[in-house]
């Protein structure tokens, strides 16, 4: 099994080494969907650290809900695709391509990106609310080759100087 990754923002602070069930993700917005690398992970970590130096924190706003997934059975809160979140996504795409990322669902990057949060059993973001994006986390989708777990590799603070 190839090592896979995701880049996301978690709405509740997560420890950099947080490890959680694949079925119980903390509330988050995916900024870059599942991908594999054809370069060492260290190159991605270095690029991600450099990239976050040039991006200032920003606000997002939720607007409505939708059903996603192949069977249209995954409830999500939609995020208004404002310039800041779309720019961050596009910068992450460019950065990940520099380390030869291969995406599981390339139709959902670039022009196909629709920012959203999957509604959890007890957690969701409220429609019309504004939320602050101040960091991004790199998530290992198969820590220790365990398909049932997820682990945060590191969290990077957005800190435009």
pLDDT in tens, 50-91: 999 999 999 999 999 899 888 888 888 999 999 999 999 999
Q: What is the mean pLDDT of the chain?
A: 91
State residue 16's pLDDT score. Answer: 66
Q: Residue 1's pLDDT band (boundaries 50, 70, 90)?
A: low
pLDDT in tens, 99-132: 999 999 999 999 999 999 888 777 777 888 899 9
Helix-helix angle 83-98:41-52, to 10 degrees: 150
The token duo for 6 is 């995701």
State residue 118's pLDDT score. Answer: 84
Query: pTM of the full predicted structure?
Result: 0.93
pLDDT in tens, 24-45: 888 899 999 999 999 999 999 9
Report the CATH number of the 5-157 domain.
Answer: 3.90.1140.10
State residue 57's pLDDT score. Answer: 96
């Amino acid at each position: 099994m190839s090592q896979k990754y995701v880049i996301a923002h978690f709405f509740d602070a997560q420890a950099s080494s947080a490890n959680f069930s694949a079925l119980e993700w903390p509330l988050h917005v995916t900024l870059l969907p599942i991908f594999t690398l054809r370069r060492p992970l260290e190159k991605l970590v270095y690029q991600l650290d450099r990239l976050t130096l040039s991006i200032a924190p920003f606000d997002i706003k939720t607007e409505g809900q939708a059903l996603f997934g192949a069977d249209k059975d995954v409830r999500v809160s939609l995020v208004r695709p404002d310039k800041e979140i779309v720019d961050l996504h596009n910068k992450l795409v460019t950065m990940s391509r520099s380390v030869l990322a291969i995406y599981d669902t390339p139709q959902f990057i670039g022009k196909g990106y629709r920012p959203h949060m999957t509604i959890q059993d007890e957690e969701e973001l409220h429609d019309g609310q504004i939320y602050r994006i101040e960091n991004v986390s790199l998530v290992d989708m198969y820590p220790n080759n365990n398909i049932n777990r997820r682990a945060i590799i590191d969290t990077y603070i957005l800190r435009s100087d």
